Structure 1
Amino acid sequence: MTLINRDAKTIWHPYTQHFMARPPLPIVRGEGASLYDEEGNRYIDAVSSWWVTLHGHSQPYIVERVAAQLKKLDQVIFAGFTHEPAIALAESLLAILPDQQQKVFYTDNGSTAVEVALKMCVQYWFNKGQPRKKVLAFNNGYHGDTFGAMSVSGRSAWTSPFDNFLFEVVFIDTPTTANLSDLKGIISSHAVDLACFIYEPLVQGSAGMLMYEAPALDELLAHCRQEGVLMIQDEVFTGFGRTGKNFAADYLVTKPDVMCFSKGLTGGTMPLGVTTCCMQIYEAFLSEDKMKTLFHGHSFTANPLACTAALASIELLLETEAQENIQRICSSHREFLQQIKDHHRIAAVRQTGTIIAIEWKTVSGTSYFSELRNLLYDYFLDKGILMRPLGNVIYILPPYCISDADLNRIYSEIRNALELY
């Protein structure tokens, strides 16, 4: 029996309408920016396998480090115990984050990293005897699929079955020079009730790679600080070089109180989430009253293998080769943007760092459920390129090791697709 037949008998895939979806592609091997199916066909991974694979598939250094760790310690409960990989990773990560980030809490994915961040901020005010019931977030945001993360994400067809279960959120638009004054007014009017403000910095990924400018965000964050609103910066997607710098925070003067990480954290090798916070928040949980404890955890919290993979990935990220590759991709994207930006089928093209997004013109406008999505997905897959269009928006978000030849092949096929659809 083939892998596809075995899959069809047993598997329910994410974000998949199985009634009409094409069969999944069986992948048996990955190397660098390439994936190979069971027949030996090669596919360029243009989206880093859902934005996680920083340095390429089966990266030798990460593999070596994880294999060595597996022989020493595979797993240990993290309540009441600790281990070297978790400590070393926390030290390494805090060393490259904004200075006020001083404590690390481990989880297992981006959504749970966000859940912890929200619970930290809500309980911070509870522990101080000043309960606050609302959260501030951006329209069109996406922070995960668990209930807290859904609550602070933009309301959409994805969340509509659960709307009655989601908690109250004050939604605002992303900041521009034109709307900053109005946004500040909204924040000030709700400030006494706001537990926190959660936001994707610079790029709203799942919304269609929507991008906005750092100076406007900086001014909004400064206003939040002035009003005493805690800030959660969700860098699950933007972290570890995606924006051209190690973190989107590196573009900002005003730094957050809490930060969330996952996706590229382990270089795409295994699940791990991290929530970091400042000492002000951590100290609000220090008490002789046990009820002021942060009651959150997972069986695989700070798994030694995942921590080892993340530590190895950060080491690779900070090396000259990775940093030069990031800038090479940024430069290539900028050149390609200039070449295609005036094409008659393009509604918009935008770029931040290693992320470039091309929005096709459609009669129905931008929509995740655009019929163009499947046409473009099939077109690129048939050409040996893994793309995952967000409706009528395609994007390139490659592993940093991708070759210029593969980048140019992707660009070439985008030009061809623009002439067909």
Structure 2
Amino acid sequence: MPPVGAALWRSLRAHQVYGANTDVGKTIVSTILCNGVQQQKTQGKAAFLKPVSTGPLDEADDRHIQRFGAGTTTKCLYQFDEPVSPHIAARQKSSTPPRDDEIIASVHRTLSEWAASSDIDFALVETAGGVHSPGPNGTSQADLYRPLRLPIVLVADSRLGGISSSVSAYESLLLRGYDVHSVLLFRDEYYQNHEYLREYFSGKSIPLLALPSPPPKPPSHHPDALARDADAMASYYHRVATHTDVAALLDELALQNTQRIDRLADMPRRANDTIWYPFTQHHGMAPKDITPIDSAYDDYFQTFAPAAPGPDTDGGGSGGGGSLKATFDGSASWWTQGLGHGNPSLALSAAYAAGRYGHVMFPGNIHEPALSLAETLLRDSGNSRLGKVFFTDNGSTGMEVAVKMGLRAACARYGWDAGNEQISILGLKGSYHGDTIGVMDCSEPGTFNKKVEWYRGRGYWFDFPKVRMEGGVWRVEMPAEVGGEMGEDLEFESLDEVFDLQGRMGEGAARRYREYIYNTAERLVYKDGMKFGALIMEPVILGAGGMLFCDPLFQHCLAATIRNHPSLIHADASKLTPKPKSSPMSPSGELPSWSGLPIIFDEVFTGLYRLGRHSSASFLSVDSDIVVNAKLLTGGLIPLCTTSASNEIFAAFDSPEKSDALLHGHSYTAHAVGCQVAVEALRTMGEMERGGAWDGYRRDWAGVSSDGDAEGNGEGGGEREGSPRVWSVWSQEMVRELSCAPAVEGVFAIGTVLSISLRDVEGGGYTSTAAKGLQETLAQGGGSSFQVHSRVLGNVLYLMSSVTSRPEALREIEGVLRGALV
């Protein structure tokens, strides 16, 4: 079922009616509002939609509206006969109740038809029961209807205990990103809930209308009870219409709908006037280049698309139309999204920590979320070296800390004076570790830093063999400048073979890699006189450098060569360094000393299931001395970063002198909200892995025949038995097809990442525009049921899903890619 955009039209004021509890009079309030619209002679007609109804047909809410709604258009989508909760009624009527996405699509389709109608301009979508009453599949209604994000008319509870249930209902809606536009309830002069709630909601600028209580039903045994009830209700509705200010409330709802659209339409202009965007050249930028996002849910932005200018519109502002479109977040919001936008469990975790702590000073103190997160990271890392966790706020500052750690440890061991000597790092070409000035110096000169006045570039960066599929074959392409030393390009039948490090260690490529690394390091240290304080790598994929997929064997050999030959770094290193008790190829579980150089893994992008595993280092069979995690750490909700290090690295800062401490931090260190959300995110992703949530993708990449037998599997560290070492949410066949497309230079997919390099006669690179055409095709939808937001890195277009993305959506995106390229 294709996703739908949130429900918003200028031509239709659509609201959703939620009740603070069951039996609070939602349908009576809906009838009052519909009648009020019908009496506004200058307005169009009202419409009433009941998505799910339970109970006898003659007592259905839409029937009540038909009887008393003065010509209101009514519709019920799913009617179940039993007067019980929808999740029970649906099971009793059918073994396959309508799916949540089917219900949402039906609601949106109905509202769209009414929005296109010339005589309907007001619609109510009424829920069943209370805010958290379950839908047909057991999903809380607050979550079930969230993709539509209709503005809310909340019917409060006027009974004993109604203040509490009304406030609780409001807060539940607020936590899920709804806008409550009005509150209505019936007067009860004994409990007077309306007086308290009027003051409560007035402080939030939400209007409250107190209505006369409806007449009690006549005794059911009375011979003409139905007729008497009908007469009483008709009289009641007439009295409400003439003696309450329903018209003013309806005018306020209409104004809020118009203002919401006007704000969205005007946001690009205002943003263009006031916002300085990151990684953006503003020269020539105009408001039309800026996309307003009204909300986000699951994998989708709800983006505002103004109506095309015409005789009756100006394309925006108060005279324009426009609507919201579902746009797949194809960059995973700069690689942060893991569990979907608007995830209720993450939002509740954040609210819990905010309510429990807010923010509390961290140094010298401890709170449960930070402690739990630190222990979880160390326990689940798979890296026996790690023993301490340092908190920062984002990947760049986390890497700043990592570099400080590594350089201090190396200088302490080798007796270097960093104040008077240049201490550099070893890394890979195309590396990117952030934009703070320290880690900027850990990357080679390039577009990101060459015009930064303080940039110096303190390191040496190895060129390296890159992996991608070309013409249906997995190829390891040797860099031109070192091809003679590392040999010719390599070809593999499967990606699993590329990652079979144990099998590849006996091949000539491993020997050539080690020789090249050894000879280069020896020249740098003993001929050029360079001093190195750390080896820094992004495992497997170098993200911002252009989605560069490094041969994992090369990264393994680089780590092993530096560790196994410490004399490459310092002539007397063997005298200063305890001999490692385990090799980086097969960690023994012991805690060896670092050797040669502290190894820092920047897993800000690649870690925590982005590539399908908890740690991307596991692909390399290397335990780093320091690792940095961010982005997916909180599932995409809030900034947080951790830098984990070995106890030996920690010991390099341990001294009686305060100045020897790691004097780094920021005011919001170990923010309790971020830590609590991270604990929940890691718990959820871990359960998904253990529960086999991605087994379908693994079967696809294992080559599973129709009878379910795997045609080719491999053992993988931490992988499920019989599964491939490497798999992706993007289908293997699609990757193969794209690799054969004339416009495609190369392609790869791993975990949630898909990277497509397009041919560019001018040579590609970050400033290339070769991928712009494909980006525009995706943005326009390319014939799919939704648009796709994507980012390009020069001639490389990449797409990234969350770990919860639905296969149906991914296959639809693949169809657009095939149509554009194959």
With the length of structure 1 as denominator, give the TM-score of the two structures: 0.94
1:181 maps to 2:515: yes
User: Of the candidates 508, 522, 532, which is equivalent to residue 194 of structure 1?
Assistant: 532
Pairwise CA distance, 1:170: 1.3
Report the Cα distance in structure 2 between the residues aligned to 1:55 and 1:312, rounded to whole angstroms.
Answer: 11
Q: Is contact 2:443-2:459 (8 Å) kept?
A: no
The count of corresponding residues between Structure 1 and Structure 2 is 419
- The one-letter code sitting in structure 2 at the alignment partner of 1:290 is K
Q: Is contact 1:218-1:252 (8 Å) kept?
A: yes
SS in 2 for 1:41: strand
User: Of the candidates 390, 393, 400, which is equivalent to residue 793 of structure 2?
Assistant: 390
User: Of the candidates 665, 671, 674, which is equivalent to residue 306 of structure 1?
Assistant: 674
Report the Cα distance in structure 1 between the residues aligned to 2:817 and 2:397, rounded to whole angstroms.
Answer: 35
Q: Which runs of 5+ in 1 are unaligned?
A: none
Report the Cα distance in structure 2 between the residues aligned to 1:322 and 1:370, rounded to whole angstroms.
Answer: 42
Q: Is contact 2:268-2:291 (8 Å) kept?
A: yes
Instruction: Kindly report which structure 2 residues correspond to 1:243-322, keeping only aligned pairs within 5 A, or say none.
Output: 243-320=611-688
Q: Is contact 1:46-1:399 (8 Å) kept?
A: no
Report the Cα distance in structure 2 between the residues aligned to 1:254 and 1:229, rounded to whole angstroms.
Answer: 14
Pairwise CA distance, 1:156: 0.8
Match of 2:369 in 1: 85
Pairwise CA distance, 1:378: 2.6
1:19 maps to 2:283: yes
- The one-letter code sitting in structure 2 at the alignment partner of 1:356 is L
Pairwise CA distance, 1:164: 5.7
- The one-letter code sitting in structure 1 at the alignment partner of 2:434 is G
- The one-letter code sitting in structure 2 at the alignment partner of 1:293 is A
1:221 maps to 2:574: no
Match of 1:74 in 2: 358
- The one-letter code sitting in structure 2 at the alignment partner of 1:165 is Y
Report the Cα distance in structure 1 between the residues aligned to 2:454 and 2:291, rounded to whole angstroms.
Answer: 36
Report the Cα distance in structure 1 between the residues aligned to 2:351 and 2:625, rounded to whole angstroms.
Answer: 35
Match of 1:36 in 2: 302
SS in 1 for 2:792: coil
State which drifts further: 274-283 or 215-224.
215-224
1:7 maps to 2:271: yes
1:247-274 deviations in whole A, cap 9, x for unaligned? 1111232311110111111111011111
Q: Is contact 2:440-2:455 (8 Å) kept?
A: no
Report the Cα distance in structure 1 between the residues aligned to 2:544 and 2:745, rounded to whole angstroms.
Answer: 18
Pairwise CA distance, 1:58: 1.2
User: Of the candidates 395, 413, 416, which is equivalent to residue 130 of structure 1?
Assistant: 416
**Change in CA separation of 1:323 and 1:347 when aligned onto 2, cut-off 3 Å:** farther
**Change in CA separation of 1:324 and 1:154 when aligned onto 2, cut-off 3 Å:** farther
User: Of the candidates 352, 357, 365, which is equivalent to residue 750 of structure 2?
Assistant: 352
Match of 2:812 in 1: 409
- The one-letter code sitting in structure 1 at the alignment partner of 2:407 is V
- The one-letter code sitting in structure 1 at the alignment partner of 2:747 is V
Match of 1:50 in 2: 334
Q: Is contact 1:347-1:360 (8 Å) kept?
A: yes
Pairwise CA distance, 1:325: 4.3
1:108 maps to 2:393: yes
User: Of the candidates 377, 387, 394, which is equivalent to residue 775 of structure 2?
Assistant: 377
Pairwise CA distance, 1:365: 2.2
State which drifts further: 364-373 or 162-171.
162-171
Percentage identity across paired residues of the two chains: 30
Report the Cα distance in structure 1 between the residues aligned to 2:547 and 2:690, rounded to whole angstroms.
Answer: 23
User: Of the candidates 541, 554, 579, which is equivalent to residue 203 of structure 1?
Assistant: 541
SS in 1 for 2:553: helix
User: Of the candidates 446, 449, 452, which is equivalent to residue 159 of structure 1?
Assistant: 449
Pairwise CA distance, 1:224: 1.4
Report the Cα distance in structure 1 between the residues aligned to 2:327 and 2:539, rounded to whole angstroms.
Answer: 31
Q: Whose radius of gyration is greater, 1 or 2? A: 2
**Change in CA separation of 1:23 and 1:340 when aligned onto 2, cut-off 3 Å:** closer
Report the Cα distance in structure 1 between the residues aligned to 2:629 and 2:448, rounded to whole angstroms.
Answer: 23
With the length of structure 2 as denominator, give the TM-score of the two structures: 0.49
Report the Cα distance in structure 2 between the residues aligned to 1:163 and 1:229, rounded to whole angstroms.
Answer: 29
SS in 2 for 1:165: coil
Q: Is contact 2:604-2:630 (8 Å) kept?
A: yes
Report the Cα distance in structure 1 between the residues aligned to 2:441 and 2:543, rounded to whole angstroms.
Answer: 17
1:217-259 deviations in whole A, cap 9, x for unaligned? 2122111112211110000000011222111111232311110
Report the Cα distance in structure 1 between the residues aligned to 2:695 and 2:798, rounded to whole angstroms.
Answer: 18
SS in 1 for 2:356: coil
- The one-letter code sitting in structure 1 at the alignment partner of 2:789 is L
Match of 2:573 in 1: none
Pairwise CA distance, 1:307: 0.7
Q: Is contact 1:51-1:237 (8 Å) kept?
A: yes
SS in 2 for 1:194: strand
Match of 2:402 in 1: 117
Pairwise CA distance, 1:142: 1.0
Report the Cα distance in structure 1 between the residues aligned to 2:807 and 2:372, rounded to whole angstroms.
Answer: 34
Match of 1:400 in 2: 803
Report the Cα distance in structure 2 between the residues aligned to 1:65 and 1:181, rounded to whole angstroms.
Answer: 51
1:342-385 deviations in whole A, cap 9, x for unaligned? 11111111222222211111211222222234333332122110
Q: Is contact 1:224-1:230 (8 Å) kept?
A: no
Report the Cα distance in structure 2 between the residues aligned to 1:146 and 1:323, rounded to whole angstroms.
Answer: 39
Q: Is contact 1:127-1:285 (8 Å) kept?
A: no
1:338 maps to 2:736: yes
Report the Cα distance in structure 2 between the residues aligned to 1:170 and 1:46, rounded to whole angstroms.
Answer: 33
- The one-letter code sitting in structure 1 at the alignment partner of 2:269 is N
Pairwise CA distance, 1:163: 6.5
Report the Cα distance in structure 2 between the residues aligned to 1:365 and 1:323, rounded to whole angstroms.
Answer: 45
- The one-letter code sitting in structure 2 at the alignment partner of 1:15 is F
Q: Is contact 1:35-1:44 (8 Å) kept?
A: yes
SS in 2 for 1:40: strand
Q: Is contact 1:140-1:155 (8 Å) kept?
A: no
Q: Is contact 2:758-2:771 (8 Å) kept?
A: no
1:179-216 deviations in whole A, cap 9, x for unaligned? 44112222244468210011111111112211123233
State which drifts further: 158-167 or 229-238.
158-167
**Change in CA separation of 1:323 and 1:372 when aligned onto 2, cut-off 3 Å:** farther
Q: Is contact 2:533-2:598 (8 Å) kept?
A: yes
State which drifts further: 169-178 or 47-56.
169-178
Q: Is contact 2:514-2:561 (8 Å) kept?
A: no
**Change in CA separation of 1:395 and 1:264 when aligned onto 2, cut-off 3 Å:** same
Report the Cα distance in structure 1 between the residues aligned to 2:374 and 2:524, rounded to whole angstroms.
Answer: 35
- The one-letter code sitting in structure 1 at the alignment partner of 2:275 is I
Pairwise CA distance, 1:328: 4.3
Q: Which has the higher contact order (CA 8 A, sep 6+)?
A: 1
SS in 1 for 2:563: helix
State which drifts further: 97-106 or 121-130.
121-130
Pairwise CA distance, 1:326: 4.4
Pairwise CA distance, 1:321: 6.1
Q: Is contact 2:612-2:751 (8 Å) kept?
A: yes
Match of 2:711 in 1: none
**Change in CA separation of 1:271 and 1:395 when aligned onto 2, cut-off 3 Å:** same
- The one-letter code sitting in structure 2 at the alignment partner of 1:357 is S
Q: Is contact 2:395-2:641 (8 Å) kept?
A: yes
